[in-house]
Amino acid sequence: MEEERARLQAEISVAMDQVMESLGTGTLMIPEPVQRGLEESTNPTLDLNGLRTLRDDLQRLL
């Protein structure tokens, strides 16, 4: 379970970076899934299903 949590967190981190890179520099608006990902990285509260949903939401932005 902890291995899956770590894997999902790593996938979320990569997806957040890719989304922000695709938006380019000078972007003032941070997409909501990226905001959720940033919050989760500083204050983890999501269970595995929540992490999967966040990962999927980020991947939809790519």
**What are 16-62's pLDDT values in tens digits?**
999 988 888 776 788 999 999 999 999 999 999 999 999 999 999 99
Q: How does DSSP classify residue 44?
A: -
Measured between alpha carbons, how far is 11 from 5 in angstroms, rounded to an integer?
Answer: 10
Long-range contact pairs involving 3-8 (C-beta distance under 8 Å, separation at least 24): 4/48, 5/48, 5/51, 8/48, 8/51, 8/52, 8/55
**What are 6-28's pLDDT values in tens digits?**
999 999 999 999 998 888 877 67
What sign results for the dihedral spanned by CA atoms 25, 51, 56, 14? Answer: positive
